[in-house]
Amino acid sequence: MENISETNKDINNKDINTNSRKNGVKIVAFLCNWCSYAGADSAGTSRLRQPEDIRIIRVPCSGRINPLFVLKALTQGADGVLVSGCHPNDCHYSDGNFYARRRLEILKEFLPVIGIDERRFSYQWVSASEGQKWQKVVINFVKRIREIQG
């Protein structure tokens, strides 16, 4: 438990505002049902504080995510998009995230050419037991998007 409370202290020290109403940004997160969604859930049940700027959309698998989902969100007003799935080799459907990795990497490389900052998009691997990792990912990603927003 010590570890967790330390991270919580960390948030306060670094002055990450968890209240999105104040200087919040809008971030859409696509989480796979089997790992990352459960990971985010476990972060919640273990009461790890996170910024509230993230809106989570649950998808069956990271392989379900069409790059156009991300582009649609970004062109329609989302400040950032986060995609998270099972670690490679751990996919519930055995290879969905391998396909996703290739697509999303192409997407990430492509974003600057149509005038979108590539830092607004990230894909991560978070497993069901990694509540703490999820917290860190969210904190860092929100921080980065807030920096871009200025």
Partner 1 sequence: MQQENSVEKKLKEKIREVFDGFELVIGYSQSKIPLKVNPLFIKGKEEIDGLIFNKLCINNLATYSYALSNELKGKIGIVLKPCDARSVSQLISEELLNKDRVKSIVVGCAGILDYKKIYKEIGGLKIISADIKDEQIIIDTIDESFTLEAKNFYAGKCYSCKIYDNPPYYDEFIENESKLNIEQENEYEDVEKFEKLNLEEINAFWDLQFGKCIRCYACRNICPLEICRDKCIAQLDVPHWQSQKINSAEGKFFQLIRVFHLAGRCTECGECERVCPANIQIMKLMKKVNKDVLKLFNYRPGYNLDEKPPLLTFKNVEKNIKEEELI
Binding site for partner 1 (CB under 8 A): 66-68, 71-72, 75, 88-89, 95, 98-99, 101-103, 105-107, 109-110, 112-117, 122-125, 133, 136-137, 140-141
Closest CB to partner 1 among 38 and 83? 83
- How many whole angstroms separate alpha carbon 147 and alpha carbon 126? 24
DSSP three-state, residue 124: strand
Closest CB to partner 1 among 1 and 114? 114
Task: Please report how close the Cβ of residue 78 comes to partner 1 at its closest, in angstroms.
Answer: 14
DSSP three-state, residue 66: coil
Neighbours of 103 (CB within 10 A): 17
Q: Cβ(134)–Cβ(82) under 8 Å?
A: no
Task: Please report how close the Cβ of residue 50 comes to partner 1 at its closest, in angstroms.
Answer: 13
Closest CB to partner 1 among 1 and 113? 113
- At what angle are helices 131-149 and 36-45 packed, to 10 degrees? 100
Closest CB to partner 1 among 52 and 67? 67
